[in-house]
Amino acid sequence: MGQNQTSTSQLDDVPSDPILLDPSQIWRWWEESALMLMETDLNEDGVVNKVDIDIVARAFRTKPGDAGRNPFADLDDNDKVNIIDISRVAKDFGKTA
């Protein structure tokens, strides 16, 4: 009961009544979402998929200065490419810009 709310929106961050929103808020939200997408869309083809996971996987366990180091693969900027970075891409898997 009451659980049957398959709403049209999967965008939980967006207030249910967009008409009340200031347009600048919508833009800010949109820009933030786009930014998040770009972060895990490592080859910037507009979709987060296996290719992007491969990019992180290839840089796995690299540190700054290592061969194969890819700064973009270090998504949380802790100077290590590890499972946390891979899981970030995995979380966005299938998303499109």
Q: How far is the CB of 11 from Ca ion (least distance, A)?
A: 21
Of these, 28, 36, 78, 91, which contacts Ca ion (CB under 5 A)? 78
Q: Is 96 in the site for Ca ion (CB under 5 A)?
A: no
Task: Give the binding range for Ca ion (CB under 5 A) out of 16-24, 46-54, 59-67, 87-95.
Answer: 46-54
How many CB atoms are located within 10 Å of the residue 2 CB? 4
Whichever of 41 and 72 has its CB closer to Ca ion, that residue is 41
Q: Is 52 in the site for Ca ion (CB under 5 A)?
A: yes
Write the DSSP string, 13-62.
TS-S-GGGS-HHHHHHHHHHHHHHHHHH-TT-SSB-SHHHHHHHHHTTT-
Residues 45/51, Cβ–Cβ less than 8 Å: yes
Please give the residue ranges that form the binding site for Ca ion (CB under 5 A): 41, 43, 45, 52, 74, 76, 78, 80, 85
